[in-house]
Structure 1
């Protein structure tokens, strides 16, 4: 899919704003946010949170005026494998091998004219691929 010149700012804004809304949503549910946009040589994890004793790696998917199901379904096997590798980097770097881990997806959908998005939280959206 090709985008019009200058359209990249909109995608960045939508992604950044959606990640902020997702973090706020999780905090309101009692999660502790440990990291936002955590980087390593292999890539980036949108959010790393703690839900009780569980370490949660969160992929935030956003869509403008699209069903939240579309956003959640966009976390395909390739993306799941990448997130699994990134989670291993995080766990090793912070020496958290003994901590339970989970992969969640937060699908964020912005309806036209709405100031707040619809958010669907899919806990345990997929298992680590073992890569």
Structure 2
């Protein structure tokens, strides 16, 4: 049951993040893109730039801010996922970046607190990722 509630919170956080980004003019290209490396929560276009978005959702900040969970290992995983997506969709020539959307959604609240960190980290382990 706990795992189900955790997944539900994450899914709701991703939906809220997508709405938030659309409100900023982003176009959502994919949600929950999966391959052998894992999953990217959202892939979007911001003007002419492809944005790979990691969404972290929590009910409180008692254990720290949600965005703090995107450590070096997670960044490497996201880099691999992003490169695989770019190759699969023949978009290696596009510039890209990694954003983090941090969602704090208390259990008794209808609206979450959303923070958006543009260009939150550089691609790791693959040299020049951006054009």
Whether the TM-score (by the shorter chain) exceeds 0.5 is: yes
Q: Show structure 2 runs of 5+ residues with no match.
A: 127-131
Equivalent residues of 1:54, 1:102 under 8 A apart: yes
1:45 to 40, 59, 75: 40
Report whether the alignment pairs 1:55 with 2:56: no
Report whether the alignment pairs 1:97 with 2:83: no
Report whether the alignment pairs 1:26 with 2:15: no
Aligned to 2:105: 110
- 1:52-78 CA-to-partner distances (Å, cap 9, x unmatched) read 0100000000110227x6111110000
Task: Work out the number of aligned pairs and report it.
Answer: 126
- Aligned-partner Cα distance in 2 for 1:127–1:105: 12
Aligned to 1:10: 5
Measured on the aligned residues, the alpha-carbon RMSD in Å equals 1.5
TM-score, length-scaled by structure 2: 0.91
Equivalent residues of 1:105, 1:121 under 8 A apart: yes
TM-score, length-scaled by structure 1: 0.91
Equivalent residues of 1:42, 1:86 under 8 A apart: yes
Report whether the alignment pairs 1:80 with 2:75: yes
Partner of 2:65, secondary structure, is helix
Q: Show structure 1 runs of 5+ residues with no match.
A: 1-5
1:65 to 35, 60, 83: 60
Partner of 1:26, secondary structure, is helix
- 1:29-74 CA-to-partner distances (Å, cap 9, x unmatched) read 100000000111211100000000100000000110227x611111
